[in-house]
Structure 1
Amino acid sequence: MHPIARLVLILAVAALAFWLVMKLRESTRGDTVSFRPVEDLPPTVQQSIDLALAHGKRVTAIKLYRQATKAPLAAAKAAIDVREWKRG
């Protein structure tokens, strides 16, 4: 087999393997994140989160949310993103 044909074949197989791995990851990743809205939390927690967001402290707001709900990081970030979006 010609060396260039062999190289093209190897590259095609590598590209196919990469594509298959990406599709497998995509199907098992589970893009849905469920969370409890900040509006459902006690008023004191809501106020603390809003105060942290008003001062530009997103990380603090996420930490406060996680302390109140025991939610994983992705869910807490999603909840705070929604809260920021609703606040404008």
Structure 2
Amino acid sequence: MPAFAYKFILFSALPLLSTLSATLADSLLNLGETYHELGRLDEARDHVQQALELMEAQRRLPDAERTRALLDDINRKLENGFVATEGVT
């Protein structure tokens, strides 16, 4: 296959990849928020951090700022020895 054909295929796929990446970032954030609400802060931090990295790479700055604020809140709780409420697993 000629080089221009590969370039065409790659450029055609970029919008799809961008959409999938945005969807992944949102899904990771949703998982992180859920873990945060459940008091599972280590898991929340991991998911929110991944979401933030994707949002920053996509230049979704308002979303990244809100996500960074959530990550800061999670990190603060972890630093202060937050313990989940009894009955939360």
TM-score of the two chains, using structure 1 as the length reference: 0.28
TM-score of the two chains, using structure 2 as the length reference: 0.28
